[in-house]
Structure 1
Amino acid sequence: MNNKNELIGRVKEIHRFPVKSILGESLSEVSIDNRGLCGDRLWAIKNSNGKFGSGKTTRRFQKIDGLFNYRARYEDNTLIITMPDGSDYRGDNNAVNEVLTDWLGFQVTLAQEESISHFDEGPISIITTSSLRMLSQELGEPVDPRRFRANFLIDTESTGYLEEYWVDRLIKIGPTVALRVVAPLQRCVMVNNAQEELKQDVRVLRNLVNNHNATFGVWAKVERNGEVNVGDDIILQ
């Protein structure tokens, strides 16, 4: 795994999550800037105590149940929130705060990122089909990649938990983008949670805790901006 300029796979899926901790959108292409995927986790649901909605409670975040019942996407540069009943609200319309408050049952507002990032660990998250195959074998059934809310799913014919070998390495995606892999991604209870047709499954996190130090995939920072498309080659440098 130490080869220079090794083709390690291709971009299979691109996902962006405009609002932290709710469902997002699948893309065929995306722009990358210094912050990460343009618009990714740029917004969050903030409660009256100033904490942001999440799957866990920390100093900055507040666990809010049912966040996967909501979805966010962009239409041009306008944020659109889809409620559990399928109704859409623009992020620049104050009505969205009233509707979210009604649905959740307590006061919230939609808040754009300010000086402190909404990211848990880092700007861009990456998983591979190889690691998914390994985890699926360990659990005895296929594991859906949606559970990990990764920005990039990389299709590779290699075997094993490849990402472990990429830490501190540079990966080039397509003709322009370069990312520096920083560390494995720590996982929390959100990987177990039901979303869309996926059911709650406590075995996912349990397996990662017992066998993989509660990590799956890696996070990376941006070293060179540009565009990424589904199908782009990924070169390990």
Structure 2
Amino acid sequence: MYTQLGTVTALWRYPVKAMLGQRLRAADLTAHGMAGDRRLALLDPASGRPVTAVQPRLYQTVLRCAAAMDERGVGVRLPDGTTVHSTDTDADTALSACVGRPVTLAPAPVPASVFEGAPVHLISTATLKRLAAENPRGLAEPERYRPNLLVDTGGDGFVENDWIGRELRVGDEAVLRVVAGAPRCAIPTMVHGNLPRDPEALRVVRRTNSMPAQPGREPEPIAGVYAEVVRVGRIAEGDAVRA
């Protein structure tokens, strides 16, 4: 017997790792996470490694780019409003000019999961409500925390902490197993598209919900949870989330 924990109220995938995501009404959940999620990455040609959060100057530019899958592959809307497609012969040139250093758009290295084999990030409306209440701006935009699923649970507080170690059924088919809290770094504080810089976006998480992401780890600021896919299936806005 399942108990309903909440309802899926928004879905995102991130076709290019580190860029803004694509809002969806429905998506296929595969064994590797949401279909098309983190399919590509900007790579440093010298090292072959993806752009990461330890490069904040670069990241600030990349977080103003929005990636979306389309019939041609993946389109990237640049800060000036122009769009570059992954299939364009001059895509790397345009992206390098935007970033201000050489980069190559390429398939994301394997594993592309976001946390030790757990590729799906969930966050609750209760967590965002608590973070907003603690933030002087009075806001906690979900886009800053980059979830795949926003779950409307009602209430106020870090309810998904209690989901760690449990299986969640999403809709009629998909099943997730929550394996860890989602540690947050400086990325939520940065400019995200039209969202301004907000240093409190990380400070409030650190003050209110620092805990080990998994047993044996040091306490970290946690916002949301990471899950692995137990059973694939179609998920959509309005789906019940049950445990």
After TM superposition, is the score higher than 0.5? yes
Residues 17 and 23, structure 1, Cα contact 8 Å, conserved in 2: yes
User: Which amino acid counterpart does residue 233 of structure 2 have in structure 1?
Assistant: G
Q: CA deviation at 1:211?
A: 2.9
Match of 2:214 in 1: none
Q: Is the 8 A contact 1:194 1:201 kept in 2?
A: yes
> 2:67–2:75: 8 Å Cα contact kept in structure 1?
yes
Gaps of 5+ in 1: none
- Please point out which of 19, 22, 29 is paired with 1:22: 19
Partner deviation per Cα, 1:7-45 (whole Å, 9 max, x = no partner): 111110000100111111100000011000001011110
* Residue 242 of structure 2: aligned partner: 235
Indicate the residue corresponding to 2:89 in structure 1: 94
Taking structure 2 as the reference length, what is the TM-score of the superposition?
A: 0.89
Preserved CA contact (<8 Å) 2:158 2:209:
no
Other structure's SS at 1:65 match: helix
Equivalent residue for 2:222, pick from 215, 218, 233: 215
Residue 119 (str. 1) matches residue 126 (str. 2):
no
Within the alignment, does 1:226 sit opposite 2:233 as a pair? yes
Structure 1 residue ranges, 4+ long, deviating more than 6 angstroms after superposition: none
Q: What value does the CA root-mean-square deviation take over the aligned residues? A: 1.8
User: C-alpha displacement at 1:54, in angstroms?
Assistant: 2.2
User: With structure 1 as the length reference, what TM-score do the two structures score?
Assistant: 0.91
User: Are residues 1:137 and 2:133 paired?
Assistant: yes
Work out the CA distance in 2 between the residues paired with 1:165 and 1:24: 27
Cα distance in 2, alignment partners of residues 87 and 199 from structure 1: 21
Equivalent of residue 35 in structure 1, options 32, 37, 47: 32
Aligned partners of 1:115 and 1:139: how far apart in 2? 36
- Once the two structures are superposed, the pairs formed by residues 21-100 of structure 1 within 5 Å of their partners are 21-48=18-45, 49-57=47-55, 64-76=59-71, 78-100=73-95
Contact 2:32 2:113 in 1 (8 A): no
Aligned residues: percent identity?
27
How far off its partner does 1:116 sit?
A: 3.0
Which one is further off, 196-205 or 169-178?
Answer: 196-205
Q: Deviations over 1:38-61 (max 9, x none)?
A: 01011110012222112225xxx9
| Whole-angstrom distance in 1 between the partners of 2:192 and 2:109 | 28
Per-residue deviation, 1:173: 0.5
2:215 maps to none
**Deviations 1:137-170 (Å, cap 9, x if unpaired)?**
2224121111111000001223321101000100
Gap change, CA 1:55 and 1:45, over 3 Å in 2: same
Shift of 1:77: 6.5
Deviation at 1:63, TM superposition (A): 5.3
